[in-house]
């Protein structure tokens, strides 16, 4: 590895060239340490958001171990089956016939009978270049249900369709052109959606749109497919980008982008972009004014929580990581502006929408250390749990809690959709609750959340 790349730097120095710590070559070009904070929502669990669907994972035995353990730990083992293929079948291509036999067995044995099926291929299939189009059509005709081909190929991480983005596109490929349209709005990219009475849902309602739609709200496969009649889609996280482009090109559903933020100015900017998008559609008149009034009250509530956090934490050193949120730099920026002593940020990449937050943080508090937890030098140099000198007193996110040996860990997770002022307030409430609870049992928190390394 070049000496140009390193494991950590003060943010004031890093801002000139973030790739030194957060570029792909800073960690992905080498074997790296995987902390106990990794796990949670993998591509299999995302695929199984589709109700009444079953997943057949086709892979060599070792490739399925992590997913199988996760299925047991996280309670969805009855929704997934494994077809393990051997070297002989891979070399000779015989596994294609095995897949069709596997599909027949799944459809015979699984009760109730699945309404849809995804065949998940591991990376060996990409390396072999197999074309499954004809086989998929044949199996759909035979079984009388829709089948889709999904892929799990870590080698494609640098491509336009890495596994996390590809699988979200795949699940929405089950949607067909609708019989009728309505005013619903699909939320794309998020694993868990905001509630139907959330801040976001209420803002959409002021413009005449709703309800918000997400696979989690669909009790059955037919209801899931009816999402295609939605008036629009909102991209809340980058992972849904390919899905947004697909449903726009196939189904004509317009989509807008409004990512998560915590800094109050950034939240208002995101909402401003959302207002512009909604007004480009057939929005109800007066929505912008009503929404601005509603959000002013939500902003005031967030500011009250900031005062509580500032008084409660005092000079306590805080670490934040990217397992807690897709926007750790923006969360750090919000907390620094609120007077919180943020000292460390753990992240292994810098999405485009996070760059302005990094630059502003460097200007406001240039001594914050940005560390890449995947860097080889991060394997080992961690304070012992009994150390009198942890790297932080409190951590937001499991990875920061582990790496900094913090006494208190706020169990926020990357999977949650903390959108708008409501989301920021929930994050602040989590800080208050964790600080009041005292020393955390990090191992217990990780187990309770269901993370699988």
**For 398-440, how does the pLDDT look when each residue is reduced to its tens digit (9 = 90+)?**
999 988 999 999 998 877 779 999 999 999 999 999 999 989 9
**12 located within any domain:** no
User: Does 130 score more than 80 pLDDT?
Assistant: no
Residue 148 pLDDT grade (very low, low, confident, very high; cuts 50, 70, 90): very high
CATH number, position 102 = 3.40.50.1980
**373 located within any domain:** yes
Mean pLDDT of 85-110: 82
Domain match, 140 and 263 both: no
User: Does 67 score more than 90 pLDDT?
Assistant: no
Domain match, 342 and 420 both: yes
Domain boundary residue, one of 119, 148, 172: 172
User: Does 264 score more than 90 pLDDT?
Assistant: yes
Residue 384: per-residue pLDDT: 63
Closest Cα to residue 59, out of 45, 73, 80? Answer: 80
**15 located within any domain:** no
Domain match, 289 and 428 both: no
Residue 257: per-residue pLDDT: 94
Domain match, 320 and 440 both: yes
Contacts of 413 (CB under 8 A, 6+ apart): 40, 323, 324, 397, 398, 449
Domain match, 269 and 340 both: no
Residue 91: per-residue pLDDT: 64
**2 located within any domain:** no
Flag the least confident range among 116-125, 200-209, 304-313, 427-436.
116-125
Domain match, 199 and 129 both: no
Residue 90: per-residue pLDDT: 67
Domain match, 144 and 234 both: no
How far is the C-alpha of 192 from the C-alpha of 194, rounded, in Å? 7
Flag the least confident range among 36-50, 92-106, 152-166, 436-450.
152-166
Domain boundary residue, one of 151, 172, 193: 172
Flag the least confident range among 82-86, 393-397, 417-421.
82-86
pLDDT (tens digit per residue) in 5-62: 888 999 999 999 999 999 876 655 556 656 555 556 677 888 889 999 999 988 877 7
**325 located within any domain:** yes
Q: Specify the higher pLDDT residue, 91 or 181.
A: 181
Domain boundary residue, one of 245, 264, 293: 293
CATH number, position 400 = 3.40.50
**135 located within any domain:** yes
**Residue 396 structural domain:** 302-449
Domain match, 266 and 319 both: no
Residue 368: per-residue pLDDT: 98
Domain match, 131 and 190 both: no
User: Does 159 score more than 70 pLDDT?
Assistant: no
**362 located within any domain:** yes
Domain match, 323 and 432 both: yes
Residue 293: per-residue pLDDT: 96
Mean pLDDT (the chain, rounded) = 88
Mean pLDDT of 258-285: 95
User: Does 1 score more than 50 pLDDT?
Assistant: no
Residue 157 pLDDT grade (very low, low, confident, very high; cuts 50, 70, 90): low
Please tell me the total count of domains within the chain: 3
Domain match, 433 and 324 both: yes
**30 located within any domain:** no
Residue 417: per-residue pLDDT: 78
User: Does 154 score more than 90 pLDDT?
Assistant: no
Domain match, 79 and 52 both: yes
Contacts of 325 (CB under 8 A, 6+ apart): 260, 262, 331, 396, 397, 412, 414, 416, 418, 427
């Amino acid at each position: 590895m070049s000496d140009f790349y390193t494991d950590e730097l003060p943010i004031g120095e890093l801002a000139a060239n973030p790739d030194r710590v957060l570029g792909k070559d800073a960690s992905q070009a080498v074997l790296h340490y995987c902390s106990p904070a990794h796990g949670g929502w993998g591509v299999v669990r995302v695929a199984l958001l589709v109700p009444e669907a079953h997943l057949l994972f086709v892979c060599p035995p070792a490739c399925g171990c992590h997913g199988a353990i996760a299925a047991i730990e996280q309670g969805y083992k009855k929704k997934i089956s494994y077809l393990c293929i051997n070297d002989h079948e891979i070399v000779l291509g015989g596994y294609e016939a095995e897949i069709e036999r596997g599909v027949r067995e799944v459809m015979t044995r699984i009760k109730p009978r699945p309404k849809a099926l995804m065949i998940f291929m591991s990376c060996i299939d990409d390396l072999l270049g197999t074309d499954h189009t004809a086989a998929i059509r044949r199996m759909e005709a035979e079984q009388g249900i829709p089948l889709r081909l999904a892929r799990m190929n870590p080698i494609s991480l640098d491509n336009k369709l890495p596994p996390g983005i590809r699988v979200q596109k795949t699940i929405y490929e089950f949607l067909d052109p609708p019989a009728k349209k309505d005013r619903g709005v699909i939320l794309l990219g998020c694993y868990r959606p905001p509630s139907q009475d959330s801040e976001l849902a209420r803002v959409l309602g002021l413009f005449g749109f709703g309800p918000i739609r997400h696979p989690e709200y669909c009790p059955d496969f037919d209801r899931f497919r009816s999402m295609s009649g939605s008036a629009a889609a909102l991209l809340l996280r980058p992972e849904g980008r390919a899905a947004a482009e697909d449903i726009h090109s196939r189904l004509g559903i317009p989509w807008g982008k409004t990512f998560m933020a915590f800094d109050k100015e950034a939240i208002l900017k995101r909402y401003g972009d959302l207002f512009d998008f909604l007004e480009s559609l057939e929005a109800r008149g007066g929505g912008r004014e009503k929404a601005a009034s509603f959000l002013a009250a939500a902003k005031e509530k967030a500011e009250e929580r900031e005062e509580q956090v500032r008084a409660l934490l005092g000079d306590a050193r805080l670490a934040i990581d990217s397992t807690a949120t897709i926007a750790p730099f923006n969360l750090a920026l919000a907390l620094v502006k609120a007077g919180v002593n943020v000292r460390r940020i753990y992240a292994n990449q810098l999405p485009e929408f996070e760059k302005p937050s990094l630059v502003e943080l460097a200007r406001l508090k240039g001594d914050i250390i940005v560390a890449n937890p995947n860097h080889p030098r991060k394997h080992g140099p961690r304070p012992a749990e009994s150390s009198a000198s942890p790297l932080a007193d409190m951590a937001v996110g499991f990875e920061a809690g582990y790496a900094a040996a913090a006494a208190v860990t706020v169990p926020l997770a990357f999977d949650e959709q903390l959108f708008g002022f409501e989301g920021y307030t929930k994050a602040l409430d989590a800080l208050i609750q964790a600080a009041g609870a005292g020393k955390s049992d990090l191992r217990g928190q990780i187990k309770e959340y269901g993370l699988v390394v």
